[in-house]
Amino acid sequence: MAPTSPCSPSRRHISRHSRPNHRLLAILAAGLVAVAGLGAAPVPAAAAGLEPSSTAMSAATVPPAPLPDLTFYGRGYGHGVGMSQYGARGRALAGQAAPAILAHYYAGTTLGTRSPATIVRVLVLQGFAAAAAKPAMIIGRGGTWSIAGIATTFPANATLRLVPTAPGATTWTLTVVSSLGAVLYQGTVSTVLVVRPAAASTLLQVASKATTSNVYRGYLRIRLTTTVTVINHVGVDAYLRGVVPVEMPASWPVEALKAQAIAARSYALRHIHPTTGTWDLYDDTRSQLYRGQRAERPTTDAAITATSGVVLLSGTYLVNALYHSADGGWTENNENVFVSAAGTIVAGAVSYLRGSSDRAPDGTSYDAASPYATWKTATYTADALGAILARDPRTNVGTLTALNLSRRGVSGRLISVTVVGSLGSKTVSGNVFCAVFNAGRPAIDPPLRGTLFDIKPIP
């Protein structure tokens, strides 16, 4: 799944490639000495795959030297757990088929099947505050359509309009008008409306959604309170037609597209709960990007059809098939990414979400085509970086004197960062550090795009 922000975490046995990357950790650990200004301090325990002592950066133990100007150098984009989309592309170009690609990123899983018609419920509009001047509107496109409980079939391009009967009311005036403006139906409704296609050619447009990607297959369930919420009920493979080309370019190799289709299908079906709640999935990076019928492309439709109903299983259970844009050459263990705001590990290890090398035999990272395979930030003085961090209470330590960048996962991604300054020290997760930096940096400066970064280029 695409990240909700550059550093967000918005998918049996451990692979032999999931052992700690000691060479990379040792290189990264060297950055601790330069940043902290501790001279001949011992190599931190992270270089041996262990967490450093909480006193390793104590300003009271070793007087800090002035911090040098700092540039952060990084690799990859996104949380680094599960499938790297650019990595899948690189593997497909190297001749790997979708099953082999998926077997690498989701270790120990097998392929199974589920019905491609299984309904998923996708939230496509929430809390729309309609008014007489701005009614909530649904349009039936391409064919006839109906409203449950109303014994009328409406023609193509007729519009359903909803306006509250009074400001703040929970009852609504429902009006259906033809494409020429003739009133076809009017009444008062509340609670729930269900709008269904009455012909195979019919699609439903949520015209109140402020985007052109607002036309959907399946049917719509409209919840009416003081606002309007719309949920798209659609078969999972029809849903994927609006997901796969948004999550992965439709021009990419077919085996990468097949891998994306299987991962996205597995993720969607893993997250449905048909007997509870009112929707299963968001249409954004909180789940998977979903843009409905207008996003569909022939190549991704073909990949979905070729893998119809195919899912990833761990034993008999559907896999939570997380994915991200680019892994920088190494994926990460799930528990090292989905941590508390303070960097405490709170999640259990998932057997199929193990970090491993994602490099070709010649050492080239499979995600090398990504624009963020490698990246760097602007250069900051200690005062400038300290000012950025001081804008958020989680990282405000006064005058910045040191950074502890030693606590890393198997990929070298930062689990936590300790910020040391004149007011003391604070430890935050790598993701929080990224979020604070990105929010506080000058808008024209490049952001941190993930937690795999250091103060010098990472090989």
φ, ψ dihedrals at 183, nearest 5°: -75, 120
Q: Please report the sign of the dihedral spanned by the C-alpha atoms of residue 406, residue 410, residue 414, residue 416.
A: negative
Domain co-membership, 186 together with 299: no
Quick check: is 125 in a domain?
no
Domain co-membership, 317 together with 382: no
Whole-number Å distance between alpha carbons of 302 and 260:
12
Q: Which domain holds residue 65?
A: 1-82+322-459
Domain co-membership, 327 together with 458: yes
Domain co-membership, 457 together with 404: yes
Domain co-membership, 19 together with 90: no
Q: Please report the sign of the dihedral spanned by the C-alpha atoms of residue 2, residue 6, residue 10, residue 14.
A: positive
φ, ψ dihedrals at 99, nearest 5°: -60, -40
Indicate the average pLDDT of the chain. 89
- Cα 267 to Cα 105, 238, 318: the distances in Å are 14, 15, 8
Domain co-membership, 315 together with 326: no
Predicted pLDDT of residue 63: 58
Domain co-membership, 243 together with 106: yes
Predicted pLDDT of residue 328: 98
More confident: 18 or 146: 146
User: What is the DSSP annotation of 286-337?
Assistant: TS-----GGG--HHHHHHHHHTTTEEEEETTEEP---EESB-TTB---HHHH
Question: Cβ distance 243 to 294 under 8 Å?
Answer: no
Domain co-membership, 436 together with 368: yes
Report the candidate in 413, 405, 404, 430 with the shortest Cα–Cα distance to residue 341: 430
Domain co-membership, 44 together with 88: no
Asked whether residue 397 carries a pLDDT value surpassing 60, the answer given is yes
Interacting residues of 336 by C-beta distance below 8 A, sequence separation 6+: 345, 355, 409, 410, 413, 415
Domain co-membership, 169 together with 300: no
Question: Cβ distance 117 to 289 under 8 Å?
Answer: no
pLDDT band at 16, cuts 50/70/90?
A: very low
Report the Cα 254 to chain-centroid distance in Å.
22
What average pLDDT does this structure show over 183-193?
96
What average pLDDT does this structure show over 69-75?
97
Burial environment of residue 368 by CB neighbours within 10 A (0 to 12, 13 to 18, 19 or more): middle
What average pLDDT does this structure show over 87-105?
98
φ/ψ region of 323 (left if φ > 0, alpha if ψ in -120 to 50, else beta) reads: beta
Tens-place pLDDT, residues 29-55: 444 433 432 222 222 333 333 333 333
What average pLDDT does this structure show over 304-331?
98
User: What is the DSSP annotation of 369-425?
Assistant: TSTTSEEEEEEE-HHHHHHHHHTSTTT--SSEEEEE---B-TTS-BSEEEEEETTEE
pTM > 0.85: yes
Question: Cβ distance 416 to 367 under 8 Å?
Answer: no
Quick check: is 123 in a domain?
no
Predicted pLDDT of residue 266: 98
Q: Please report the sign of the dihedral spanned by the C-alpha atoms of residue 29, residue 35, residue 36, residue 38.
A: positive
Quick check: is 49 in a domain?
yes
Tens-place pLDDT, residues 425-436: 999 999 999 999
Quick check: is 122 in a domain?
no
Domain co-membership, 329 together with 195: no
**Among candidate residues 278, 297, 321, the one where a domain is terminated:** 321
Asked whether residue 18 carries a pLDDT value surpassing 90, the answer given is no
Report the Cα 246 to chain-centroid distance in Å.
12
Portion of the chain with pLDDT greater than 70, in percent: 86
Question: Cβ distance 141 to 215 under 8 Å?
Answer: yes
- Cα 35 to Cα 141, 146, 374: the distances in Å are 60, 66, 21
Asked whether residue 64 carries a pLDDT value surpassing 90, the answer given is no
Predicted pLDDT of residue 66: 75
Tens-place pLDDT, residues 136-179: 999 999 999 999 999 999 999 999 999 999 999 999 999 999 99
Burial environment of residue 71 by CB neighbours within 10 A (0 to 12, 13 to 18, 19 or more): middle
**Among candidate residues 321, 342, 376, the one where a domain is terminated:** 321
User: What is the DSSP annotation of 18-62?
Assistant: GS--HHHHHHHHHHHHHHHT-SSPPPPGGGGTSPPPTTTT-TTTS
Asked whether residue 27 carries a pLDDT value surpassing 50, the answer given is no
Asked whether residue 182 carries a pLDDT value surpassing 70, the answer given is yes
What's the token pair of residue 344? 């405490």
- Cα 62 to Cα 55, 209, 293: the distances in Å are 11, 58, 62
Whole-number Å distance between alpha carbons of 98 and 307:
10
Report the candidate in 99, 105, 185, 182 with the shortest Cα–Cα distance to residue 147: 185
pLDDT band at 2, cuts 50/70/90?
A: very low
Quick check: is 77 in a domain?
yes
Asked whether residue 374 carries a pLDDT value surpassing 50, the answer given is yes
Asked whether residue 90 carries a pLDDT value surpassing 70, the answer given is yes
Predicted pLDDT of residue 67: 85
Whole-number Å distance between alpha carbons of 331 and 355:
4
Quick check: is 335 in a domain?
yes
Predicted pLDDT of residue 369: 98
Asked whether residue 386 carries a pLDDT value surpassing 50, the answer given is yes
Predicted pLDDT of residue 52: 35
What's the token pair of residue 436? 């604070």
Tens-place pLDDT, residues 108-147: 999 999 999 999 999 999 999 999 999 999 999 999 999 9
Tens-place pLDDT, residues 286-317: 999 999 999 999 999 999 999 999 999 999 99
Question: Cβ distance 202 to 264 under 8 Å?
Answer: no
Asked whether residue 330 carries a pLDDT value surpassing 60, the answer given is yes
Domain co-membership, 183 together with 281: no
Quick check: is 6 in a domain?
yes
Asked whether residue 23 carries a pLDDT value surpassing 60, the answer given is no
Tens-place pLDDT, residues 227-266: 999 999 999 999 999 999 999 999 999 999 999 999 999 9
Quick check: is 231 in a domain?
no
Whole-number Å distance between alpha carbons of 257 and 248:
7
Interacting residues of 384 by C-beta distance below 8 A, sequence separation 6+: none
| Number of domains present in the structure of the chain | 3
Portion of the chain with pLDDT greater than 90, in percent: 85
**Among candidate residues 262, 295, 321, the one where a domain is terminated:** 321
Predicted pLDDT of residue 8: 56
